[in-house]
Amino acid sequence: MSHKNLKSVPIYKKALELCLMSREIASYVSFNKDLLKLYQSQSLRDIIAEALLTDAILIPQQIAHAEFSQSHSERMKSASFINIMIRNINSYCTGLEKDGVREKEYLNLLRKEIKSFRASFRKWRQNLSS
């Protein structure tokens, strides 16, 4: 295993920022303020907030997996998985809007962060292939 430092990987830092922003938004929009218990809620908003959190947490984990993997196919699998989670997070923003979240500026901030992350992600993914 290589001795890579994830803190020196820009996409990893961006993923952690995305994670933090997702957590803050999930906390803000959810009815259940105990984020660890969101999965128990019957509220659509809480269910979406839980999914948002889950996917946002998985992204840096998948980046780490890809960075440390020796297998090209494993790295590509992680990249593909991250791509799906990015799309999901955009969908969660739309779902929260449709569920009546009035603070659209927060959702738009998250969308902007996703867009910025996606641009960095594309560059990172190209480097994974080489």
Question: Which phi-psi region, left, alpha or beta, contains residue 100 (left: φ > 0; alpha: ψ -120 to 50)?
Answer: left
Among the listed residues 79, 68, 59, the one whose alpha carbon sits nearest the alpha carbon of residue 15: 59
Q: Which residue has the tokens 């979240």?
A: 101
**Averaged pLDDT in 10-residue chunks for the chain of 130 residues:** 73 96 91 70 86 96 95 96 97 95 93 96 88
Looking at domain 7-129, its CATH class is mainly alpha
**Domain locations along the chain:** 7-129
Question: Which pTM does this prediction carry?
Answer: 0.89
